[in-house]
Amino acid sequence: MNLASPRVVNVSDLRRLARRRLPDAVFDYLDGAADDEITLKDSERAFREVLFKPRFAVATPACELGVTALGHKLELPFLLGPIGYSRLMHPRGELAASKAAGRNGTAYILSTMSGHGIEDVKAQSPGPTFYQLYLAGGRGAAEGAIARAKAAGYTALFVTIDTPVAGNRERDVRNGMKELMGTNPLKKLKYLPNILSHPSWLASFIVDGMTRPFPNIVVPGSGPLAAVDVAAALESAQVSWTDLRWIRQLWDGPIVMKGVMTVEDARRAVDEGAQGIVVSTHAGRQLDGVAASLRVLPGILEAVGDKTEVLFDGGIRRGADVVKAMALGAKAVLLGRGYAYGMAAAGDAGVERAIEIFRADIIRTLKLLGCPSIAELNSSYLALRPGFRVD
């Protein structure tokens, strides 16, 4: 597949190619969000309410993009975030993301809901790899996954706290995501015409063995958890603050709480000993009507930014968005759909192209700002429209 310019010049182009390749159930699982998708839309709109204040006539022959996050020096200010069911989007899925992250000097975060094994994903990357934890399958399954991640060389644990139940993802219901992941062939018939109209995806899905159990959710006495739709998978995945103390007994590396959206939760995470937090709306896929994570980032940074590492996640589609989040004070940012569209469209090559686009965007934005490095960004480069913040 040709991913070069002018066919692909931005993330929206990768999204278009992913939409063409994937059946509706799979594309809308990646692209959609909860209820009326208010939070999803606000996550992108919020970046348009942050304006740049450039310094001109400043020489910036080279721009330094490196950051240090969770004890690792990264060559890029973004990490590739966890995307569940990545193997459903492309057979290489998590393997492609891990390999691309390692090749480009950044970190990859593997989702519990992954289609490839913890060890195989780590083997793709010489760089830092982190594990995102759900309690799907119960504590016994989580204990096994944590032990495997530690043995394989994962160095940080991202604990997602915003999934007491799955959000009401109406696109998934309409498109038959549950039926696609299920084992009853009769229930798939209604959605078969759409699936057959995407022969490239269907062929790769069949060759890859179709629906597989989750290799990293191994329930003691039962084996790997059968593949189910996301709502069913998250029913047993709720995490409480008391679980963090239990997790700390199993994991001696950094623990990062993902899904923090209030100052109160940020302070609680610090009190419980978290080495980092991710300010995130879960891509708008959980509670709809929550403010964009960019809007709450300044207040959370003011409260705990000097006590823990604050990472940002949500709505990033351009390198300029990365620069805005970093200028507000984030330690680093997570890409989600921003690279997953590329992965879904073309596997390894798609992830590489997404990273290439973001890198070029960031460098160009820094030069146009008159800022020589990511490390020198600060809020003086920004102007916020009235009413932007939500505290």
SS3 label, residue 340? helix
Asked whether residue 167 is assigned to any structural domain, the reply reads yes
Asked whether residue 118 is assigned to any structural domain, the reply reads yes
The residues facing 255 across adjacent strands are 157
Full pLDDT tens readout for the chain, 391 residues: 899 999 999 999 999 999 999 999 999 999 999 999 999 999 999 999 999 999 999 888 889 999 999 999 999 999 999 999 999 999 999 999 999 999 999 999 999 999 999 999 999 999 999 999 999 888 999 999 999 999 999 999 999 999 988 899 999 999 999 888 888 889 989 999 999 999 999 999 999 999 889 999 999 998 998 887 666 667 767 888 989 999 999 999 999 999 999 999 999 999 999 999 999 999 999 999 999 999 999 999 999 999 999 999 999 999 999 999 999 999 999 999 999 999 999 999 999 999 999 999 999 999 999 999 999 999 999 999 999 999 9
Residues 21 and 155: their CA atoms lie apart, in Å, by 35
Domain that holds residue 237: 11-383
Q: Residue 204, Cα to own-chain centre: how many angstroms?
A: 24
Which sign does the torsion angle of CA 283, 289, 293, 294 carry? positive
SS3 label, residue 43? helix
Q: Report the pLDDT value the prediction gives residue 27, as an integer from 0 to 100.
A: 98
Asked whether residue 2 is assigned to any structural domain, the reply reads no
The pLDDT tens digits of the residues spanning 201-229 come to 999 999 999 988 999 999 999 899 888 76
Peptide bond into 6 cis (omega under 30): yes
The pLDDT tens digits of the residues spanning 331-369 come to 999 999 999 999 999 999 999 999 999 999 999 999 999
Residues 195 and 206: their CA atoms lie apart, in Å, by 12
Q: Report the pLDDT value the prediction gives residue 363, as an integer from 0 to 100.
A: 98
How is residue 304 written in tokens? 């705990």
SS3 label, residue 385? coil
Asked whether residue 355 is assigned to any structural domain, the reply reads yes
Q: Which residues contact 335 (CB under 8 A, 6 or more apart)?
A: 78, 79, 80, 81, 316, 354, 358
SS3 label, residue 131? strand
Q: Which of 143, 146, 115 is nearest to 130 (CA)?
A: 146
Would residue 72 show up in a list of annotated catalytic residues for this protein? no
Asked whether residue 369 is assigned to any structural domain, the reply reads yes
Report the predicted TM-score, pTM, of the whole model to 2 decimal places. 0.97
Residues 80 and 103: their CA atoms lie apart, in Å, by 12
Q: Contact, 113 vs 235, CB < 8 A?
A: no
Residues 284 and 341: their CA atoms lie apart, in Å, by 16
Q: Contact, 199 vs 123, CB < 8 A?
A: no
Our separate counts of H helices and E strands in the chain read 17, 14
Asked whether residue 388 is assigned to any structural domain, the reply reads no
Q: Report the pLDDT value the prediction gives residue 229, as an integer from 0 to 100.
A: 61
Asked whether residue 17 is assigned to any structural domain, the reply reads yes
Asked whether residue 391 is assigned to any structural domain, the reply reads no
Q: Report the pLDDT value the prediction gives residue 315, as an integer from 0 to 100.
A: 97
Q: Contact, 388 vs 49, CB < 8 A?
A: yes
Q: Which of 111, 145, 144 is nearest to 129 (CA)?
A: 111
Cα 13 to Cα 8, 40, 354: the distances in Å are 5, 19, 10
- Report the interhelical angle of 319-328 vs 293-304 (nearest 10°): 30
Instruction: Name the domain count of the chain.
Output: 1
CATH number reported for the structural domain that contains residue 121 in this entry? 3.20.20.70
